[in-house]
Amino acid sequence: MATNRSMRLLGGALVASALMLPAVAAADYSTVTDERLRNPEPENWLMYRGNYEGWGFSPLDQINTDNVKDLKPVWAYSTDVNEGHQSPPMVNDGMMFITTPENQTIALDAETGELIWRHQSEISEELFQLHPTNRGAGLYGDRVYLTTTDCFVVALDARTGEEVWKTAINDWELGYYMTMAPLIAEGVVMVGTSGGEYGIRGHITGLDAETGEIKWVTHTIPGPGEPGHETWETDAWKTGGASVWLTGNYDAETGISYWGTGNAAPWTGDLHPGDNLYTTSTVALRVTDGQIVGHHQYHWNDSWDWDEVSTPLLVPFERDGRQINGLVHAGRNGYLWLLDRGAGSNIGFVDAHKYVRQDVFTSIDPETGRPTYDVSKKPVVGKEIHFCPSLWGGKDWPPEAYNPNTGMFYIPANDNLCGSLIGEDVPLVPGELWLGVPIPDIKMYFVEGEKHIGEVQAWNLNTGEEVWSTKFESFNWGPLLTTGGNLVFAGGTRDRLFRAFHGDTGEVLWEFKTNSGITAVPSSYAINGKQYIAVQAGWGVDAVRMENSLSAERGWDGDMRPTPIGGVLWVFALD
């Protein structure tokens, strides 16, 4: 017979699990300091792209071109979520953090795969998630920092997963949301917001990492009186987009962060005449006060939904015998952009190279990098306009990677996809989708006679030449990891494969068929001298949308079975 006392014990146990107290107590947590973030240990992966420069590079070389053929899975973990998984496994001295769709964060023992804690933010069912995913945690101090799809920054205790503070960045009911991993430097947590499809006015926010208080807000569309405001000829600046939805990179020597900005809203440029700063640009912000100290706009008066939100990598390269502090960005617009960040402000143009089929730009100014357009390829209201690449671009959000040992720059690309749009002028309803193009008039198609879409490309930035390109019939949504073992790791294709490429040649040296397609960022770490490669599989979000758009045309779904979904974290090592 159940007694009151045993019921209270049962109740207590239920309460403990509801509060998500640790199933396994976290051992001493290694505090993440500014010094460690500036110089991360090779055996850890402490931030979204591995280092502040955004390289996506692990110095570890135990796994290399000679032995990667022996790489095997050592453990796996189901995330409980069916949707697009995108975030890298972060590792800090044996403790791993992954984020998943549904605003979930999971902490695991990086060696054994045992669960340490889970946290989930509850989101209103009134919110519809255009991009139901998350791109990673930020680690700083003894905390884990996240963004949510209802536009909060949340700070958790890294040891227990308990919430320490939560700060609203903007109003999700107006279409602002977040999926990015925060950039954290010098005690400031920095985030941008998504919402370029909802007519937001984009901004980057800096918060105090300790208290969660907002220190500064910098709009990526200048207001009246601010420099750049004159590039908006009408009131369209108020709802002009310039979202920021990927993690900034950071130059610790100058204290300046670099961010990419998204499309102008709504899509066709005739509805927002002017160059529209700072849409489709890179902006440089001083971390202490959020001041914009420089920018480069990749293409003006955006009319193609070519977000240039992917953050430029801080990469050194040579030009005319000069060593340049570079910013390198594989643009959605189909060009690879080489810029000079100089002493920290006034970003200068160096060079640009087409890396996929592109029929919009007729020239690039050699001094400023400003493109001129074939007007017949620039979408407008009421007319069907065709252009290449499609709105998905030569590369969407999946990040490039840079290997400092070899100097090679790698790009996950999609070629031979073009598109068309017919613009319409409709009023914005706050909180509702506002593309300015009816859904059936957003078209994408494969170029007749071509044989492939997805690529992994390798470039020599000093010569400005493509060194190799490995091609796939499938499109490629695979973020890149490159390593000291001279390998490039990536998923991204419909065949569920996770591959290792030879860094010098692009030859596939190893592949493993996971449970689902991979669109997540891979990472690498080491424990007790053993190197691991980790990646989340779990197809969804834009890869699914692209798959649906193309499958009938490409004959992929003869039996109506698209790529299966389901989140699983995979960890690999040598025997």
Partner 1 sequence: MLGGLVGWLLSPIWFRPKRVRAADHDPTKLRAQPGDQLVFKSGDRKDEVIAAADVVAGEKPLVGYPYDPVNDVLRKGSRLNQILVLRLPPDELTEEVRARSVDGVIAYSAICTHENCPVTGWHPDHEQFICPCHETHYDPKNGARVVSGPAKRALPALPLTVKEGILIAAGGLTGKVGKRKSS
Q: Which of 186, 165, 168 is nearest to 177 (CA)?
A: 168
Q: How far apart are CA 546 and CA 392, in angstroms?
A: 9
Query: From residue 16 to residue 45, what is the string marking binding to partner 1 with x (rule CB under 8 A)?
Result: --x---------------------------
Q: Which of 228, 198, 207 is nearest to 292 (CA)?
A: 228
Least gap, CB of 305 to partner 1 (angstroms): 13
Q: How far apart are CA 575 and CA 573, in angstroms?
A: 6
Interacting residue with partner 1 among 28, 125, 367, 575 (CB under 8 A): 125
Interacting residue with partner 1 among 26, 115, 130, 568 (CB under 8 A): 130
> Counting contacts by CB under 8 A, is residue 265 touching partner 1?
no
Q: How far apart are CA 491 and CA 502, in angstroms?
A: 15
Stretch that binds partner 1, among 128-136, 235-243, 363-371, 505-513 (CB under 8 A): 128-136
Give the residue with the Cβ less far from partner 1, 454 or 566. Answer: 566
C-alpha 436 chain-centroid distance: 25
Interacting residue with partner 1 among 449, 528, 555, 560 (CB under 8 A): 560
> Counting contacts by CB under 8 A, is residue 12 touching partner 1?
yes
Least gap, CB of 15 to partner 1 (angstroms): 6
> Counting contacts by CB under 8 A, is residue 1 touching partner 1?
no
Q: Which of 225, 85, 112, 81 is nearest to 518 (CA)?
A: 85
> Counting contacts by CB under 8 A, is residue 122 touching partner 1?
no
> Counting contacts by CB under 8 A, is residue 540 touching partner 1?
yes
Least gap, CB of 568 to partner 1 (angstroms): 15
> Counting contacts by CB under 8 A, is residue 69 touching partner 1?
no
Q: Residue 205 forms beta bridges with which residues?
A: 191, 217
Interacting residue with partner 1 among 28, 35, 126, 367 (CB under 8 A): 126
> Counting contacts by CB under 8 A, is residue 555 touching partner 1?
no
Least gap, CB of 268 to partner 1 (angstroms): 17
Residue 207: partners with Cβ closer than 8 Å, 6 or more residues away: 153, 167, 188, 189, 190, 191, 213, 214, 215
> Counting contacts by CB under 8 A, is residue 574 touching partner 1?
no
Q: How far apart are CA 433 and CA 455, in angstroms?
A: 31
Helix (H) or strand (E) holding 331: none
Give the residue with the Cβ less far from partner 1, 80 or 213. Answer: 80
Half-sphere CA count of 262, side-chain side, radius 13 A:
31
Interface with partner 1 (CB under 8 A), residue total 37
Least gap, CB of 443 to partner 1 (angstroms): 12
Helix (H, G, I), strand (E, B) or coil at 77: strand
Least gap, CB of 442 to partner 1 (angstroms): 9
Among the listed residues 150, 305, 340, 415, the single catalytic one is: 305
> Counting contacts by CB under 8 A, is residue 78 touching partner 1?
no
Helix (H) or strand (E) holding 495: none
Site for partner 1 in 285-324 (CB under 8 A): none
> Counting contacts by CB under 8 A, is residue 82 touching partner 1?
yes
Q: Residue 454 forms beta bridges with which residues?
A: 414, 472
> Counting contacts by CB under 8 A, is residue 132 touching partner 1?
yes
Helix (H) or strand (E) holding 7: helix 4-18
> Counting contacts by CB under 8 A, is residue 544 touching partner 1?
yes
> Counting contacts by CB under 8 A, is residue 4 touching partner 1?
yes
Site for partner 1 in 391-450 (CB under 8 A): 429, 432-433, 435, 438-440
Site for partner 1 in 159-218 (CB under 8 A): none
Q: Is residue 160 a contact partner of residue 145, using CB atoms and an 8 Å limit?
A: no
Interacting residue with partner 1 among 66, 70, 80, 213 (CB under 8 A): 80
> Counting contacts by CB under 8 A, is residue 545 touching partner 1?
yes
Least gap, CB of 433 to partner 1 (angstroms): 6
Least gap, CB of 235 to partner 1 (angstroms): 21
> What's the residue count for the chain?
575
Give the residue with the Cβ less far from partner 1, 59 or 538. Answer: 538
Q: Tokens 């207590």, residue?
A: 12
E strands present in 252-399: 256-260, 281-286, 292-297, 313-319, 322-330, 335-340, 348-354, 361-364, 371-373, 384-387
Stretch that binds partner 1, among 28-36, 129-137, 247-255, 300-308 (CB under 8 A): 129-137
Stretch that binds partner 1, among 88-96, 272-280, 455-463, 536-544 (CB under 8 A): 536-544
Q: Which of 268, 263, 274, 357 is nearest to 305 (CA)?
A: 263
Q: Is residue 473 a contact partner of residue 416, using CB atoms and an 8 Å limit?
A: no
Q: Tokens 């620039």, residue?
A: 378
Q: Is 93 a catalytic residue?
A: no
Q: Which of 567, 407, 506, 428 is nearest to 79 (CA)?
A: 567
Least gap, CB of 122 to partner 1 (angstroms): 11
Give the residue with the Cβ less far from partner 1, 152 or 361. Answer: 152
Helix (H) or strand (E) holding 550: helix 541-554
The first and second tokens of residue 286, run together, are 């001083």
Q: Which amino acid is at 540?
A: G
Helix (H) or strand (E) holding 242: none
Q: Which amino acid is at 269?
A: G
Least gap, CB of 285 to partner 1 (angstroms): 31
Q: Tokens 């990492």, residue?
A: 209
Catalytic center residues: 305
- Contacts with partner 1, residue ranges (CB under 8 A): 2, 4, 7-8, 11-12, 14-15, 18, 80-82, 125-130, 132, 429, 432-433, 435, 438-440, 540-541, 544-545, 548-549, 551-552, 557, 560, 565
